[in-house]
């Protein structure tokens, strides 16, 4: 078993544990492909980090009063994923 395969399996275990615990806490959990949330939210399924940062700044962070803007790319990704969820999960509760 190669190192890459082993790492993928370990990530799968972690993701599964997070999903189970989130569901136990009463949250709605809907796994979504990366290219799907990018396409539906940003308009381009293969959007790069710069485009995600630009979109999240314009449509989520600045209107939300986030200042100063974060340095971490993960926060821009999270803002775009949250926008995707808001667009697609209304009324699912």
pLDDT, residue 92, reads 54
pLDDT, residue 66, reads 86
User: Residue 3 pLDDT more than 80?
Assistant: no
CA–CA separation, 87 and 66 (whole Å): 21
pLDDT, residue 81, reads 93
Do residues 55 and 80 touch, judged by C-beta distance below 8 A?
Answer: yes
- The predicted model gives 66-92 an average pLDDT of 87
Backbone φ, ψ for residue 28 (5° rounding): -85, 130
Q: What are the extents of the domains in the chain?
A: 1-28, 32-93
pTM, to two decimals? 0.74
């Amino acid at each position: 078993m190669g190192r890459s395969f082993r790492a993928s399996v370990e990530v799968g275990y972690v993701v599964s544990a997070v999903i189970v615990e989130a569901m136990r806490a009463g949250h709605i959990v809907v796994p979504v492909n990366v290219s799907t949330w990018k396409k539906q939210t940003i308009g381009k399924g293969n959007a790069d980090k710069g485009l995600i940062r630009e979109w999240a700044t314009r449509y989520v962070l600045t209107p939300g009063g986030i200042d100063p803007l974060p340095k971490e790319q993960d926060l821009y990704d999270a803002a775009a994923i949250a926008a995707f969820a808001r667009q697609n999960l209304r009324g699912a509760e």
